[in-house]
Amino acid sequence: MEYVIDLFLHLDVHLAEFVANYGVWVYAGLFAVIFAETGLVVTPFLPGDSLLFAAGALAATGAMDITLVTVLIATAAVLGNAVNYSIGRAIGPRVFAADDGTGLQSKLLNRKYLERAHEFFEKHGALAVISSRFAPIIRTFVPFVAGAAAMSASQFLVYNLVGGVLWTVLCVGAGYLFGNIPIIKDNFSLVALGIVGVSLLPLALEFYKARRHPLA
């Protein structure tokens, strides 16, 4: 556990070591991590925003090619979400199969939630898919729920592409432009925590609203 925490807080150092030890394999590693973080509902804990920032900062030093980094990460993000959506479409209705009842399964996996999710994605699909890219954990589950709720595949494809590219360009670009400024580079741990904190603000706000105005 200590190693995982250290890895997250010092991604810039570990990523530089990975490049030094394995060279071009770093590109495959980045692709795999981002694909898993966005494409598999069981791996929402993998680094996302902070990893993109660190990759951009490292690319600015010339250790990696910024164009290749951006293209590979954007591709992994888009493909990951597409796979996640497809999995949700295939097994989601069977997961959310519980009827009204008093058990835990009925409360968490009730079919009514799926119906509400479908209505939500019909009205706010673009906002949900695109904005969720910037919220850790949430971005891993939104594509699955969108597929389970039978959101239009063509609409999801467009929003997924826009969100994936926007997320990649902004996070990698921020690292490329600002990651090597001394005060940021010397305090990467705080920057990483700050990125996660800012990303989780929308989630905290929605949770607060849900607590004040629970669904009937």
Taking the C-alpha atoms of residue 189 and residue 195, their distance in angstroms, rounded to an integer, is 10
CA triplet 112, 114, 120: central angle to 5 degrees? 105
Query: Where is pLDDT greater, at 2 or 175?
Result: 175
Tokens of 196: 């996660």
* pLDDT at residue 109, as a whole number: 53
pLDDT digits (tens, 9 = 90+) for 26-60: 999 999 999 999 999 888 888 888 899 999 999 99
Taking the C-alpha atoms of residue 176 and residue 169, their distance in angstroms, rounded to an integer, is 10
Q: How confident is the model at residue 193 (pLDDT cuts 50, 70, 90)?
A: confident
pLDDT digits (tens, 9 = 90+) for 111-156: 565 666 656 677 777 888 888 888 888 888 889 988 988 888 999 9
Q: Would you tell me how many other CB atoms lie within 10 Å of the CB of residue 20?
A: 10
Q: How confident is the model at residue 82 (pLDDT cuts 50, 70, 90)?
A: very high
* pLDDT at residue 213, as a whole number: 56
Tokens of 50: 């902070």
* C-alpha gyration radius of the chain: 18
